[in-house]
Amino acid sequence: MSRAIEISPLAGAVAAEVSGIDLSAPLSERAIRDVHQAFLDHLVIVFRDQALTPSKQVEIAHLFGKPAIYPFLKGLDGAPEVNELLKTEEQTVNFGGSWHSDTAYKERPDMGTLLYALEVPAAGGDTLFANMYLAYEALSAGMKALLDGLIAVYSSEKGYGGARKERMKSLAGLKDKVPDEVAAFEAEHPLVRTHPETGRKGLYVGKAHTLRFKGMTEEESKPLIDYLAEFAVRPEFTCRVRWQPRTLAIWDNRCTQHFAINDYSGKRRRMHRVTIEGERPV
């Protein structure tokens, strides 16, 4: 008989540690259901002391959906769905160092992400997470009425000046050749997104990828985008996950944002990431 896993919230707003489970071993149907429910309830779930190979990480991703191929970074040999995110002692730029939801610029953004820690500094390199349900629910009735039904344009080039590939060359693992058809992405999505499993509404906005509102210029759109992006990551909506070697975090990109803190100059950080294909936001 399998025993129930233990769930320990990390903060009042978002994220929980899940214990009493070995992800390297075959999981019972009950364990799979419990993990998925924890994912829906807490948006970010963290597992400590897990011994995972790249192929096992892909196998775990399959419990949530189909693993995606990230367009800008190389996959590992034998596990093309796995990207190695490495910041060496000499590098100054990190990957994911701003508030964002992964691949919001795709027609079907990735619904979830699995990040596994291999090497982390003794201090620093944490990741912040924000709950987009709570951010939306805290808005005034008037602001909700303004935003509901509003369509935004999301771009992979925002912040890169049309040269994302050039700017990312300082990151290890960039693909040698990115086809022209995927060199830049732009997509239109609702600014208020309804989660397909929970039915809850959440803000889908961030300075990293939200370019403008449909039918409006960037200049006209910027004040409201900036306000919402800053409001969405107020401390009461967030938590901080501290990494340890062999930690796996799984988060829901449909209702969270995250920020990889770049506060470990001169130190090494190496992670394995898998994302999961998603659906068109509604």
Catalytic residue among 42, 189, 193, 273: 273
CB 5 within 8 A of CB 33: no
Closest CA to 91 of 260, 267, 243, 259: 267
Q: Which of 172, 174, 229, 226 is nearest to 203 (CA)?
A: 229
The number of CA neighbours under 13 Å toward the Cβ of 180 is 0
Contact 185, 105 (CB under 8 A): yes
Distances in Å between the Cα of 139 and the Cα atoms of 69, 146, 204, 226 are 35, 11, 13, 15
Which is catalytic among the residues 34, 102, 110, 252? 102
The order of strands in the sheet holding 186-190 is 186-190, 151-155, 210-213
148 given a catalytic annotation: no
Q: Could you tell me if 61 and 67 are in contact, meaning their C-beta atoms sit under 8 angstroms apart?
A: yes
Minimal CA–CA distance to 160: which of 204, 206, 209?
Answer: 209
Q: Contact at 8 Å (CB) between 203 and 150? A: no
100 is catalytic: yes
Render 204-241 in DSSP notation, one character per residue. Answer: ---TTTEEEETTS-HHHHHHHHHHHHHHTT-GGGEEEE
CA 231, CA 131: separation in Å to the nearest integer?
A: 11
Does the annotation mark 41 as catalytic?
Answer: no
The single residue of 100, 193, 269, 272 carrying the catalytic annotation is 100
Kindly give the residue spans of alpha helices, DSSP state H, lying in 95-151: 132-137, 141-147
Q: Is there a contact between 99 and 205 (Cβ–Cβ < 8 Å)?
A: no
Residue 102 annotated as catalytic: yes
Active site (catalytic) residues: 100, 102, 258, 273
